[in-house]
Structure formats: structure tokens, C-alpha cells
Structure 1
Amino acid sequence: MAKKTKNVFVCQECGYESPKWMGQCICGQWNTMIEEKVVDIKDNDNRRRTDALEKVKAIKLSEVKSGDYTRIDTGIRELNRVLGGGLVKGSLTLISGEPGIGKSTIIIQAAAKIAQTYGKVLYVSGEESEEQIKMRADRVCNGMTDNLFLLAETNMEIIINVLDEIKPVFLIIDSIQTMYTEMLESAPGSVSQVRACGNELMKVGKVKNISVFIVAHVTKNGELAGPKIIEHLVDCVLNFTGERNQELRILRSYKNRFGTTSEIGAFEMVEEGLLEIENLSKSFLEGMESCAEGSMATAVYEGTRPLLLEVQALTAPTNVGFARRSAIGVELPRLNMILAVLERKVGISLVNQDVYINIVGGLKPEGTSIDLAVALAIYSTYKGIQNSNKTLSLGEIGLTGDLRSIQNADKIVREAVRMGFTKIILPKKNADKFMEKQKDIQIIGAKNIKEAIKANE
């Protein structure tokens, strides 16, 4: 017999449990404690048997056989790239994003392709009916198959029974916040329910060797809703970003136990669904004007490919109060550092100037390789100097004004040549590695920000 239920108060933000209600949780949030009933473990539960514990022994690492993970091709190259080569059998993948960004679209496209190639796929939806999913599938999927099954259900016990009956190779849960188990009396979406359903899905995926795709909501701040334990349970965490009024969508991995987290996938949202963007650099630079003030091309290295970007800057005299600093795609502390270097090392005064920075396309590049392009774009708009759209600059700016070398410069140069650039401004340490003159392109090495500005004139 199980013991009587007990009441606990659980924070909906961090998952902290307290025997009594608290106005403010230990995480600092107010009014996030919700009362939940938790049933104790049964006295005859197998997890508490001492004889089973006595059989568990540690083994030597050298005696463990290493095996290759079997991957499933999703049929979407950009999704495979982010996942590290495809879905690993028995893995749990969590995908998040704002409403309307395209999560359900890319999932139904992948489900249809996997069903055509590998076998049965079960799509469980707790938010939409079978008719709504069918309407989307008719619009975005090229051809249907009898191996794709739909289930509009939120009860985990019923889902497990259907799973045992169908025996799919791929399971989709849309979304984890709508699922609940009868073992708990709390409402769906609560910390206890999300934790229990996540554990159950992990056990199903590992034991039955089924790849599981879990959809999760995000908060107003863009973070994953629900307890952090879900992120710890899954093998891969994907985030879908983009502006709903624009076609570009970026898929990035923030956690991947079977691959790298530096890869990104690019898609274009059209009426027929999500289309892969093969030449991402071209899409970022296609609107770049020739001889424009405050515009500079740069590059970042994402995963296994270089991406060329356009940095736009605008300065305007401050009318009242303090000067405004606004940046889209660039961290504000990094922008303030670049402005301080320009004032001290170059001699331009921006204390009474509003400064606006934008990375065209909505991409938020990681790293510091775009520092030089941001500085040259600001200098260009402040001085009224027109930059050529055939010039590319990249490099990290130090507090002394010197330019520090970057990684994968040779691959970026090859991509710049392919895209038609004629001049590249690099840190001198990177430029020195190109001993021979490159055909069709001029490579200029600069020691500091002053030399880079001179080379750009």
C-alpha cells in the first residue's frame, strides 16, 4: 500500500519544493509557489529492494565496449547538420521557440520523411486536433504515407499503450507542457507533471530504442518554460529563432550529447513550409548596397562553414539626456567597449552621439571576430565615408586598440573569394600566413584599429 498523499509547494520557475507556502522563492521570483500533492513510493516498489541493489557492481572503463550510434536521416539536411548527422536512436531531443516560429512545421516535415524511409511514426499532439495537423501536413509535406500516425491525447498512460501497440521508430510529443500522468494530482504543465512525463519519455526512448522529439514552450524572456530538469534529461536541446514578419529561420543547438553545438541550420518560411537555405551567406548579403555609409561586410565561422554577414551602423547627435546605445545581434557591453576604444585610440568623440548597430538577417553571432567590422561601420557613418560592398573586415579588438588573430581565417578567405569580394582586412598575424599573393583578392594585414581604418579608406 502507498502512503497517504502529502502537500508540497513547488516553484514554477526553478522547481524548489517547500513544505509551506512562500511569497518569494529562493530563486528570487514572487508568487510562483503552487500547491501540489505528491504520492510516496510504494513499500513494495522494486526500486527499494535491497537484493537488487546488492547485484549492482562497478566495472572497469577499459572493459566497456564502445559502440557506434545508429542515426536516422530526417530527410532535412539543415536539421541533420544541427543534430550532428541525424537523429540518434533512443535519444530525446527538445525543440523550443516562440509561437508561430515554425516548430510544428519542421517537425511534421521530418516526420513525413522518416515515415517514408524508416517505418512507423507517431505524432502525439496535446494542443491540436488530427484535422488541424492533417491540414498542415497537406500544405507542407510532399506526399503522405500510411506509416504516419496521429494521436490527439494528453494522458501519458494512454500514450504508452498506443506506443506499445504501434511500435514506431520515431515519437513526437507536442507539447510537454500539455501532458500529464495519473500518478500525480497536479495540473498539466506543473513542475511535478513535466518532471514525471519527461522521465517517462526518457525511459520509453532508452528501453524501446525510439527517437523522441519533444516540443516545449518558451517564456516571455525567450527561455524554456518549465523546470530546468527537462533540459538536463534530454540529449539535445534545439532552439528555433527568427522574426515572424521575416522569412529567415535559424535553428541552433544549445546542448548535444552526440555532436557539436556550434552548427546552425537556416530555413526560409514559405507557403509550402520550411525550405532549406543552402547559400546562407548570399541571403545575408543580397541587400547590401554599394558604396553605402555605415555598412561593412564581415564573417563568422559557425560549426563547419563560414558565414558572411553585413553590419550596419548609424550615429546621430543626441538631442536630450544621455546618448543612446542600441544593438541588435551584438552584445551591448561589447559595443560599449568598441566605442571606448574608438574614442581613446582613434580620437573620435561619441559621447554626444546616439549609436545604433544592426546585424542584418537577425543572426546573433557568437565570438569576437566581428569587432573590427562594427568599429569600421561606426567610423564610416560618423565621418560620412562610403564603404565598398566588395571589402570584408574581421578581427577581434583588444582594449589597447590592437587586432588579435581569429580562427579559420583561411576558410573565411576562400568563402569571400567565392562570394566575389576583392579586399579583406585581417589582423596582421592572420594575414602573414598568406605568404603568396591570392588571386582575385587583396589581403591587408593591420596591427591595430588605426591601420585598419587607413586600409579601408
Structure 2
Amino acid sequence: MKKKTVYICNNCNYESVGYMGKCPVCNTWNSLVETTIVNKKDSKISKREVLEKKTVRRLGDVESTNSHRIVTSINEFNRVMGGGIIKDSVTILSAKPGAGKSTLLLQVANDLATMGYKVLYASGEESESQIKSRADRILKNVHTNVWVVSDNSLDNILENIDEIDPDFIIVDSIQTFTLEAFPSSRAGSPTQTMECAYELVKRAKDPQRPRAIFIVGQMTKEDELAGVRALEHLVDTVLIIEGESGEELRTLLTTKNRYGSTGEMGFFNMGEEGMVSIDNPSEYFITKRENDSLVSGSAITVVREGTRPIILEIESLVSDSFTPYPSRIGESMRREQLNTLVSILEQRGGIKLYDKNVVIKTTGGIKLTEQASNLSVIMSIASSIFQKGIPNDTVFISDVGLTGELKKVPSLDARLREIDRMGYKRVYIAPGGIKASKYKNLEIKELKTLREVINSCFK
């Protein structure tokens, strides 16, 4: 066993044999921390013996694990993971405190246990009794295949893994664990966090005994994963839970997925029974009204979250302004984007808004990042101005150019299939590229300009 002293930057993980006042990589002052590294490898191992441990194989002879997925009963979780859990994968889950990280993983653990898999839940933040109290609250029955340990030593956790031999491992959270080989580094430091993560990845990627590992990562005040950026590069999947603590809606978003689509989004209801999967978001994000009950200021569109089209309701409120500068408030979109759409409506739609306050939001607080929702936003504002409701079975899917012309949007066929499935009767789109005969119950109105859409809807 050999020991050596190095200096590691606590900001970017740069390693130096000598001390420097400024890190040459990230240019941070006084960030190099003296660290003692213990090398447990036997220095007498020959180079030939080390090389014999790894062999070169043809790529075609390597068995792909992407098809061997374990599908849980939580549909939205499966979607975000790319269709299920890969047996030798490492996933990190991060969110603000109280968002539901531990709750969701405990539900996943119990679900896997009921399928016959052995699960180890290792916590460095909560005691075993606290974990059991949460389990009693959100789970109907705690399965015997779920094992729990409360310890801050990853060395002890690794011994527990060897003893229990679990199929799935949950580590909550990585910033609270330490390895004895790095005594001079505190828990949560870049050295401890990365070295603990390396050990866990090594256990997950063991070809003789692959395991799926879920790591909980703390979040900074800037709503980013705490620790060095290398931690995100190390794991296979990065999941983020978004949602305000006072609201029930939670959004599970993947920002990285080696086994699926990046940007995939799942929706959950956070309640007394834990995180409940919202399997039909298109129904969830729409206000249910009778067909003859028309409300001004409401318009329907279809947005894409990941690979899935979701029907979304956009609401607007237009009121008189008694100040020289009327308000433009977009709770679900950038103010610059809202100002652009208001200008288009004024100039190309012939509706003056220089003395009106305009407020826009979406049901559920979904962010409007696609141009496909622009026509719906404009029509929602027009409906609020005219005090005339748009029929509840009408949808708008189009971008609107500065010239007032309607523009085509990507994945239009998938969006039309979704509104056809949900029973909508009429949709306004840009002209060209769609075979109306494919949608027997859907009237497709292909118009060229915004003025034509306004005249069609409000006569």
C-alpha cells in the first residue's frame, strides 16, 4: 500500500503534484486542496499480468444490454428511462429539497422488489427509522426484498453489497459518503464525490455481476447538480425532478440518457401516496368543459415533450392599462417571445394592444419552448380581447411569421394523431404536406395568414 500527496482543485477536479495559488484549468484562486491518495494496488504486478485482464473483441461479438430492460409498473418513469432500467446502468437523480427524490426511488425500489429483485437502499442523510416511516406512508406493503442501511462510509456499503448481493442499489445521496482511502477530503468534496462515484460505476459495470445503481445528487442554489461536471459525464443517465413545493405536479426530465432520448419528460402527482404517474398528460392539462360552455381567453395547442405530443391549454388575460407602459407577463414563456407575438397580432391581425396589459400562462405551468404554440398564444389573446370563446373542440398548431403568414412545424403528423385520438374535431395549420383523408373525424383547416384564422374563428 502506497501513499502520495497531491493537490486537487475543488472546483474542476484538476490534480497537481505541487501547490499553486491559482488553478491553471478553471482559473479559480485558492481552490487546490492537499489530498492524500492511498494506492492499494500491488506494485509487484507485472505489466503483462495487468494487460491479460482486458481482451480486445470485435464489436459485433459484444452483446448489447440495451434490449435487456426491466420495466416497472410506473409508466412515466419507464418512459423517461427510455423504456425501462438497464441492468448495468448508473443513473443520477437530482432535485431541490422536498421535490420527491427519495420518495420516487423508494417506490421504484419496492416495485422492483415485488418483481423478485433484491434492492439495497443506502442512505447517508436519513436514519433507517425515517426511511421506514416514509415507506409506511406511501407504500401499501413494504416488500421483504428491500434492504436498508444508514451509513456515511461507502466502504461499509460496498461490504454490504458483497454480503447481500443486491440487483439494484440506491445511494442517497452521493455527497454524504466518504472512502477511507481519502481521509483528508471531507464528504461532498470533489475528490470524495468522484471517487465514490467511480467505485459505484465499477460495481455496476462488472461483466460477471451487473447491477443497476441509482445515485441521488444534491442540487445547488442555481438549480444545478452539485459537484464537478465530470460526475454527469461519468453516469449513464441524469434525471431532474422539477416542481414547486406547494404544488402537486412534478416533472421528471432526463438531461442525459445513453439508452434513450435526451429531453424525455414524465409527469407525476405528488400526494400522500407518493409520486403518482400521470399516464395521459393530454387529458390532465386540459380544463374539462361542456361543449356549449365557451370561455374567452382559452386556446388549445399540441407541444412535444421529448418524443411525445401533449395537448396543452393556453390561457390569456387582457386588461386596460393605466400606465404609459402596459405589462407583458408570460408565466410560461419568455417575455421577448410574448412581445413579438403581441406585435404580430397588432400589425398583422389589426388588433391594437398599446393600452392593454397581456398575461399568458399554461395549465400545469408547462414552458412554451416550441414555435408550434405561437398561433395558439395569439388566438388566446384575440379571444380575450373579443370576449368570445373558441369552440372546445378546436386546436391551433402553427408558427406565425413576422409577415403574419402561418408556418409549418415539425412532427405535425404525430400531433394530429394525438388530437384525433383525444376526439378533437377541428385544427388550424399552415397549408401543405398533410393528407386530410388520414384523419376521418378531424376537420383540417389549412389557412395562409393570421388574419384568415381570426376571421374564420370570430367571423
TM superposition score normalised by structure 1: 0.88
Deviation string for 1:264-318 (max 9, x for gaps)?
2222222122222222212111356842222111112334543111111223344
The correspondence of residues 76-91 of structure 1 with structure 2, limited to 5 A, is 76-91=74-89
**Match in the other structure for 1:238:** 239
> Is contact 2:87–2:210 with CA below 8 Å preserved after alignment?
yes
- Residue in structure 2 matched with residue 434 of structure 1 by the alignment: 436
Instruction: From the superposition, tell whether residues 55 and 426 of structure 1 become closer, same or farther in structure 2 (CA, over 3 Å).
Output: same
Share of identical aligned residues, percent? 36
Equivalent residues of 1:236, 1:255 under 8 A apart: yes
Report the CA distance between 1:351 and its aligned residue. Answer: 4.7
> Structure 2 matches for 1:364-403, cutoff 5 A?
364-403=367-406
Following the alignment from structure 2 to structure 1, what is the Cα–Cα distance between the partners of residues 14 and 341?
Answer: 41
Shift of 1:127: 0.9
- Corresponding residue of 1:335: 338
- CA deviations on 1:314-346 (whole Å, 9 max, x unpaired) are 233444464433322323343333233333322
Q: How big is each residue's C-alpha offset from its partner over 1:114-173, in whole Å with a ceiling of 9 and x where there is no partner? A: 112133110001111111111111121232222110010111111111111111000001
Paired positions, count: 450
**Distance in structure 1 (CA, Å) of the matches to 2:289 and 2:46:** 68
User: Which one is further off, 123-132 or 61-70?
Assistant: 61-70
After superposition, the Cα gap between the structure-2 partners of 1:436 and 1:171, relative to the gap in structure 1 and judged at 3 Å, is closer
Segment drifting more, 59-68 vs 276-285: 59-68
Q: CA deviation at 1:112?
A: 0.8
Q: Kindly provide the amino acid, as one letter, of the partner of residue 345 in structure 2.
A: L
- Corresponding residue number in structure 1 for 2:124: 126
AA partner of residue 226 (structure 1):
G
Greater alpha carbon shift after TM alignment, 176-185 vs 38-47:
38-47
The aligned residue for residue 449 of structure 1 is 450
**For residue 123 of structure 1, what is the amino acid of its counterpart?**
Y
Q: Does 1:284 align with 2:285?
A: yes
User: Per-residue deviation at 1:405?
Assistant: 1.8
Counterpart of 2:5?
5
**Inter-CA distance 354–37: structure 2 relative to 1 (3 Å threshold):** farther
**CA shift at 1:210, angstroms?**
0.7
2:167 to 166, 169, 176: 169
Mapping for residues 87-106 of structure 1, pairs under 5 Å: 87-106=85-104
Alpha-carbon distance between aligned partners in 2 of 1:39 and 1:141, rounded to the nearest angstrom: 44
1:314 aligns with 2:311: no
Give, in whole Å, the separation in 1 of the partners of 2:283 and 2:394.
15
When residues 155 and 319 of structure 1 are mapped into structure 2, their CA distance, relative to the original with a 3 A threshold, is farther
Residues 339 and 51 (structure 1), Cα distance of their counterparts in 2 relative to 1, 3 Å cut: farther
CA distance in 2, matches of 1:113, 1:270: 18
Matched, 1:293 2:296: yes
C-alpha separation in 1, matches of 2:35 and 2:147: 34
User: By how many angstroms is 1:223 displaced?
Assistant: 1.7
In structure 2, C-alpha distance between the alignment counterparts of 1:360 and 1:46, rounded to whole Å = 63
Cα distance in 2 for residues equivalent to 1:450 and 1:132: 61
Distance 2:446 2:356 in 1: 30
2:52, 2:402 → 1: CA distance? 60
Query: Secondary structure of 1:212's match?
Result: strand
Quote the Cα distance in structure 1 between the aligned partners of 2:129 and 2:37. Answer: 40
Report the Cα distance in structure 2 between the residues aligned to 1:335 and 1:45, rounded to whole angstroms.
64
Structure 1 distance, partners of 2:81, 2:199, is: 23
Q: Structure 1 57/107 Cα, relative in aligned 2: closer, same or farther at 3 Å?
A: closer
**Secondary structure, counterpart of 1:428 in structure 2:** coil
Are the equivalent residues in 1 in contact too, given 2:376–2:396 (CA < 8 A)? yes
Determine which of 6, 28, 34 is the counterpart of 1:37: 34
1:113 aligns with 2:123: no
Query: What's the offset of the Cα at 1:369?
Result: 1.4
Please give the alpha-carbon distance, in whole angstroms, between the structure 1 residues aligned to 2:112 and 2:275.
16
| 2:276 alignment counterpart | 275
Q: Which moved more, 1:37-46 or 1:256-265?
A: 37-46
Whether contact under 8 Å (2:38, 2:181) holds in the other structure is: no
